[in-house]
Each structure stands twice: as structure tokens, then as C-alpha cells.
């Protein structure tokens, strides 16, 4: 794999921070990260961008069947049954007890990793296609947190540090399709502490997987009158699938 491509560095760094880079690829990336300041900088950049996601995500209790499957797959359930069969042995002499506790800890770690790497919706329906983006300001401060759920057809945008423009203007969010196609509007952006939960247009859903990113333009109050950006593009951001 060639690591001289800056776009590849950014993509791998983002996947590393999200936790979707696994196995041998993750180990190779970690070795490369120890040798390259530029790679470490890319990882730090994505940590700053994605930290608001962890802060915005509420804790969630997995459904009982999820926990039961984790116990079965890790062997903890079998260990618990074996422990019941040897319950007459003094607890401090039971080797199975310690093995079972170790397996339960492993199962808990697996559940925790799933909850941290995925949103609550994905724990229930892992087949869902979801995309996230953090739009940063000039000083790398997060301004908006954008999340698109293709399966549910929802677009949620949360203002983090975004201040309102002049009363005669609005911020508008655009998806940048692959191949240099014309930007498509995703709607107006909230400011202050406001948030938006809107329907994701059906015609825009297929564009997310291959999109080059997102852009924010400064438009007249109420949005672009032409359906295309008319004002200056003030911010851009990458969009990631999770």
C-alpha cells in the first residue's frame, strides 16, 4: 500500500480514530504512525474533529438479546453453566470461576467497543448506512455536527459553536457529489444551540457514499434563490461512513 497519497493518509487516520480500521491494516498503520509526524498529525486532526461525536452520544443500554449473543459467542454463557455444575466446590478453588469472569469482562469490552464505535441505532440495526461530518471553523473549532441516516431517511444537524451571520444572510449546507457534479443543497444550517432534524431527500441518499465532502456557503436570508451556491463557500468538511 502506498502511503504517500495525502488523501489516503486522511482516510486511514479517520478510520483509525473511528475504530473501523482493524486487524493487520490497523497494526500497519500504528507502526507507520510511530515513524511519521505527518501521520500522527492527521490522527490528532481527526481526534479533534470526531471528539464532539463522543460527547454528543448518550449512553445506551443494549437489548437483552444483544448481551446474550455476546455471552454465547465469547463462551461466557457456557462457563457460567459449568460453574453452576461445580457449585459445591469452594468458590476460591474454582478455576472455572476465574475463567468465566475473564470471559464476562471480555464480553463487556466487546459491548463497550460496539457502543463507542457505533450509534445506538446501529446496535439495533447494524445494516443501517450512516454518515457523519464535523464542520470546523478557521481555528479548528467544531461548528456543526452533521449526521445522515440513509436507512431512516433522516438528516440531523446540531450547532456546536456556530454564530448566526448577519440578519440578511443564512448558512446553507451542500453535498459535493463525486466527479465534480453540481453541489446539492442539504438545507439551511442552525446556529447558537439550535438543531435540525429533517427528512433526507431520496434523490440525495445515493450521493452520500461517494461524496467528495460537504460545503457551507453564505447565502441570502432563507437560502440560495437558484438552487446552487450563490455566495462564498466559507467552510468545507469531509464526510465519513460509520
pLDDT tens-digit series, residues 115-136: 555 544 444 434 448 888 899 8
pLDDT tens-digit series, residues 214-240: 999 999 999 999 999 998 999 988 888
Q: Which one, of 201, 176, 177, lies nearest residue 187 by Cα?
A: 201
pLDDT of residue 188: 95
In percent, the amount of the chain with pLDDT more than 70 equals 71
Q: Are 42 and 13 in contact (CB under 8 A)?
A: yes
pLDDT at 45 over 60: yes
Please name the residue that has the C-alpha cell 478510520. 15
pLDDT of residue 77: 61
Q: Which one, of 191, 214, 213, 187, lies nearest residue 200 by Cα?
A: 187
Gap between the Cα atoms of 159 and 143, Å rounded:
6
Helix (H, G, I), strand (E, B) or coil at 28: helix
pLDDT of residue 125: 39
Amino acid at each position: 500500500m502506498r502511503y504517500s497519497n495525502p488523501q489516503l493518509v486522511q482516510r486511514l487516520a479517520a478510520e483509525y480514530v473511528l475504530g473501523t480500521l482493524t486487524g493487520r491494516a490497523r497494526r500497519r498503520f500504528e507502526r507507520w504512525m510511530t515513524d511519521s509526524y505527518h501521520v500522527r498529525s492527521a490522527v490528532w486532526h481527526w481526534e479533534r474533529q470526531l471528539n464532539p461525536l463522543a460527547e454528543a452520544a448518550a449512553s445506551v443500554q443494549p437489548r437483552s438479546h444483544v448481551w446474550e449473543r455476546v455471552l454465547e459467542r465469547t463462551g461466557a454463557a457456557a462457563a457460567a453453566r459449568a460453574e453452576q455444575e461445580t457449585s459445591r466446590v469452594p468458590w476460591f478453588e474454582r478455576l472455572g470461576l476465574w475463567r468465566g469472569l475473564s470471559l464476562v469482562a471480555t464480553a463487556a469490552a466487546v459491548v463497550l467497543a460496539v457502543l463507542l464505535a457505533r450509534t445506538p441505532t446501529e446496535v439495533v440495526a447494524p445494516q443501517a448506512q450512516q454518515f457523519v461530518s464535523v464542520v470546523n471553523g478557521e481555528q479548528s473549532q467544531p461548528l456543526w455536527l452533521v449526521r445522515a441516516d440513509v436507512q431512516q431517511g433522516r438528516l440531523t444537524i446540531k450547532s456546536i459553536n456556530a454564530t448566526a451571520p448577519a440578519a440578511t444572510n443564512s448558512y446553507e449546507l451542500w453535498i459535493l457529489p463525486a466527479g465534480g457534479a453540481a453541489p446539492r443543497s442539504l438545507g439551511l444550517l442552525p446556529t447558537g444551540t439550535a438543531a435540525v432534524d429533517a427528512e433526507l431527500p431520496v434523490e440525495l441518499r445515493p450521493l452520500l457514499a461517494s461524496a467528495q465532502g460537504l460545503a457551507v456557503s453564505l447565502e441570502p436570508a432563507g437560502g440560495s434563490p437558484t438552487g446552487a451556491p450563490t455566495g462564498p463557500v466559507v467552510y468545507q468538511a469531509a464526510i465519513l461512513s460509520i
